Amino acid sequence: MSRPGNYGKSSRLKQLRQLKRKKRQQASRTIAWDQVEDFLLGRYHLVQGNRLPATVDATVQRFFSEWLQTALAQGEQQPRWDIAAITATTFKRIGNQVPWQFYAVLLEQVMAWQKFLLREGPVVPLATPRRIIKPLTATAWAALVADQLAVNLLTIMATPIMATPITAKQREQLTKSFLADGHVQWSAVAALFSPLGFTIQASADEAAHQWLTELLALTVSDFHH
């Protein structure tokens, strides 16, 4: 039995041992920086993906993978993930590597994806937790997608034959033509993109080729706006 004078000391030692044990347990549960992408993609598929049609799930997963690569490229020492900025950079990199239907499928799922990210991002077991900031409204998402579609179309049209570069005014006018009441008008998008066609790169693997083929089969009637 402890002597009365040692009781407080024993309690403090016990608390210190418990604190050290808790820290060791937390450390053992953390994941490495290069595991974050697989961790979050796995979580997303578990929570959301198995409820979605295969083509839709593949579209969101591929976007999420690209988005995470953009976020992770900021480095482990950047604890804040800015949804608006990271998405804009990711869209710019994806650009015309996908048909317009990619953006249409994504836009229908993006609010659910963002909700998942806001909930799951901060609890990824990293030594320094991430803060997810600047989420977008549905209207802001539509505007961001419309802007990227405008850039994509103008990029296709900006062949070396053209003497003048793309202007900010052209981009703004085209973006506005794709929007109405805060929604992307897919009929307007399809009317301009469809005649240009889309070629699947020979380097695409079998899964990517099948996914892109399924996207290309979608028409305006498959989307709400």
Q: Where are the beta strands (DSSP E) in 85-207?
A: 131-133, 179-180, 183-184
- What's the pLDDT score for residue 179? 98
Q: Whole-prediction pTM value?
A: 0.85
Taking the domains of the chain in order of start, what are their residue ranges? 36-219
- What's the pLDDT score for residue 23? 44
Beta bridge partners of 183: 180
How many other CB atoms are found less than 10 A from the CB of residue 162?
Answer: 9
What tokens were used for 60?
């969101």
| Residues 8-39: tens digit of each pLDDT | 555 666 666 655 554 444 445 899 999 999 99
CA distance 96 to 20: 52
| Residues 147-189: tens digit of each pLDDT | 999 999 999 887 665 556 778 999 999 999 999 999 999 999 9
CA distance 80 to 65: 18
